Every structure is written in C-alpha cells, then in structure tokens.
Amino acid sequence: MSGSPELDAALVEALADFAAHDRVLVATDFDGVLAPLVVDPMDSRPVEGGMPALTSLADLPDTTVALVSGRALDPLRELSGAAHDGPLVLIGSHGAEDSRAEGGLALDDDQQALLGTLDEELAAMREEHPGLRVEDKPAGRVVHTRGLPDEEARSALDAARELGARHTSLEVTPGKGVVELAAAHVGKGVALLALADEVGAQAVFYAGDDLTDEHGFQALADDTDAARAQRRLTVHVGDGDTQARFRVADEEAMVALLQALLAARRERRPRTALTPSPRPAPITDRAP
C-alpha cells in the first residue's frame, strides 16, 4: 500500500512490546476498522492490505487472529474474504456465532417466536419509515438508517429502541446509524475473553470503532487475569471518546498498524520477564 499513514511513536513502541509476548490474541472489528462504513451493509469491502496482514499474522506461531463483528457469520465471511479453511477465527453476531462451532446458532422456541413477532412489528415500522432497512441475522434483526435525512434517521432509531423496550427479553444494541434487536446475545467483550482463555493468550490486541467495541475495550480492562489486562493493547479507529489506549484515524491507518504489528511479531525481541506496562487512563477525543 503506497503512502501509508505514519503511526504515532508511542503506538509503534506499544506494538513492539505486545509482539514480544510468547502467545497473543489479535482481534479486530470489521466495519469501520477494516472496511469503510457504507449505506448498504452488503456493499462493504475491506481496504487493501488489511486482510492479508491479518492472515499473515495468523500464520505465525502462537498467534491467534480473530474477526469479531456484529455481522452474522456468513456475510462476515463473504465480505471479508476469509477462507473457510483459513487460519482466521470468525466471531459473528456480537459473539453469538463462532466459525469453529458446527451447526451455527441454536435458538429455543421462545426466541424463534420472538423473532417472528419482531419481523411483524418491523414490517409495520418500515411503512412509517420507507427508507428504513432491516438486516436479518440468525439471532436478531438490525435496523439501518445510514443515508436517511438526519431527522428521519433519528425518528426511525427512536422507534427501533422503543420496540426493543416493549420486548424486555430482547438485547438492544445501538451503534452508528443502527439499532440491533437480538433474541440471543453474548457480547464482544465476553467473546474476546473466552477466546483469550481458550488459546492461553498472555496479551490481547483489539481494534474497534463503535459503541459495541467500547464494551470490548472495557472487558479487556476488567479482565480477571490482571496481568493480561495490563498487557492489553486496544485501539479506537476514528473520532469520538473512547476507553482504548490508542487511536488511529481511519481504515488505511489501521492497515499500516497491522503491517507494523506483523513486522514486529516476525522480528520480536526477547523478553526478560512478562512485566505489565503501566495501566493508562482512557483517552478523550484528541488527534492520534
């Protein structure tokens, strides 16, 4: 990739420190991190260089790499281009789906009935908001308003949140121009920690851009493995307040970060001890 953005020196140092651990988990969101946000979610495509860098990282010893997304598993695989037999772990539906699990997501009768009711009410909502788009997912439905005029988008999102409030067993997850209504929900933070435990990761990297990713950042900070929590490397992509340790401007900068991490992991320096770094304070909306 030509004209790669220059990374902050402190971030480069943090990447080298992270890469030096024996066993690591590298995880990222997809939309807004590897692929720009678009009006139609199915038009999303990763920017050049990001997926190859992740795949190369996953091919290295003791390096587990995962895409952790709110998207359902099948579209996540299709749009990211991740191979079925490839080295990447895909976690879809905010942690409710795992590419390594056979049979997909199982919903009980009550959850299936709730989705049927949700479909009926969303059909009525689309009549009131003609520009509204609804994405079907195995465990829920996502209301999308990107591309609508601001006032209409706000009204539609309010209606979606009110619908979720009427059905108390639904998990309501707001995002950038979206509201997800899920009959089954795990959460990115829970999924990240479970995967880190499973692979025995000494340190976890996670990059995200949205409100659901903030839950992931918080979960990693609150990890019951205190040493691993201190070693976390979290990165927010784009503007806005965040609990992440670092920030990059956009998807192209994220590619530069992944390429730097790949180089550091390939050439990692030996560690004399697994000494945790000082725990940083959350950053606010400032330039990277």
CB atoms within 10 A of CB 228: 21
pLDDT at residue 137 in the model: 82
Q: Give me the domains of the chain, ranges plus CATH numbers.
A: 9-103+186-266 (3.40.50.1000), 109-182 (3.30.70.1020)
Give me the helix-helix angle, 150-166 and 109-128, nearest 10°: 150
pLDDT at residue 95 in the model: 86
Look up tokens 């991190």; give the residue.
Answer: 33
pLDDT at residue 176 in the model: 85
pLDDT at residue 253 in the model: 97
pTM (two decimals):
0.75
pLDDT at residue 3 in the model: 59
| pLDDT, tens only, 155-168 | 999 999 999 999 98
pLDDT at residue 104 in the model: 59
* Regions in the chain scoring below 50 on pLDDT: 1-2, 272-282, 284-288
| pLDDT, tens only, 208-250 | 999 889 999 999 999 999 999 999 999 999 999 999 999 999 9
pLDDT at residue 114 in the model: 92
pLDDT at residue 182 in the model: 87
